[in-house]
Amino acid sequence: MNEKKTSTWSQGMTFMLISTFCFSMMQALVKLLPQFDSFQHIFFRSLIGWILSVSYLKIHKIPLIGKNSKLLIIRALVGSISMFSFFYILTRIPFASSVALKYLSPIFTSIAAVIFLKEKIKPIQWFCFLFSFIGILVMKGFDTRISLFDLSIGILSAVFGGLLFIVIKKIGDDDHQLVILHYFMFVSALVSGIICIFKHGDSQWQLPTLTEISGLMAIGIVGFFAQNYFTKAIQSSEKASILSNLRYLEAAYAFIIGYFIFNETYNLQSFMGLFLIFAGLLLSLKFKSKNISIDE
């Protein structure tokens, strides 16, 4: 039996690394502005991202409508559901745990890639995915800070985050990445804006101060670059299943940020659950980079 590495470092993988770093910084900035509810965060981030996207497209005279309008709308809806649910849990449970839940999405990306993109996944990789699911059960079973409802919302975010890779792959490079982003940001800003207008209770619209405006702008700008490089990565020739696994670097950043910036602590059982999640997914990435063949 010979093992040969079939995947080399690609431009798409580089784009995904840049994206994961930007996403981590954006999520930390969101956590630093807890006075705004999740819908306000989504609105400001989406509005700023949409303005930046449209400005670039207008300057370079790229049509806003795109060539795959139906798929672009689907991408916008799938992305919005994933983002809305993630921003919700980001303000409800510990920082690193919220990121860990969201980035179960590679499991769902891999399943969808087999069905819709005909990508091949080795049996050992499915065993690695089982490790990650066991990690979720361990984390939920011992970390009382995570309710069953919040866990469900986190998994919902992961499912739609996984489907997002497939939709963008289907769009391909026919449309500029900022055309794709423009649709997504417009839908997210519109929906979150409507919710903010009609929302009642303790979390009504809060007018930001000048200092807070700077923070919200930073979230929008960093989020724009995160989504831009994320889309460019998926539009590359690299497999969706490989790119999705690289996003777990973002979860590693979250542990560091959560510990040093937010003073978050984790009991032994919670750490074991989180460890299983990452161990399973990092092993799956290792196996994906190899091709095992038998010489007769």
Q: What is the pLDDT of residue 3?
A: 47
8 A C-beta contact, residue 17 and residue 85: no
Residue 50: strand, helix, or coil: helix
Q: What is the pLDDT of residue 293?
A: 37
What is the pTM assigned to this prediction?
0.80
What are the domain boundaries of the chain? 36-202+223-289
In angstroms, rounded to a whole number, what is the distance separating the alpha carbons of residues 228 and 219? 14
The H-or-E segment that residue 55 falls in is helix 38-59
- Note down pLDDT in tens along the chain; length 296 residues: 444 444 457 888 899 989 988 998 898 898 888 888 888 889 999 999 999 999 999 999 999 999 999 999 999 999 999 988 987 887 788 776 776 677 678 788 888 888 888 887 778 877 877 777 777 667 665 556 778 898 889 889 989 988 999 999 999 988 999 999 999 999 999 999 988 887 745 556 678 899 999 999 999 999 999 999 999 999 998 888 778 877 767 766 777 787 788 887 767 877 787 788 778 777 876 776 564 433 33
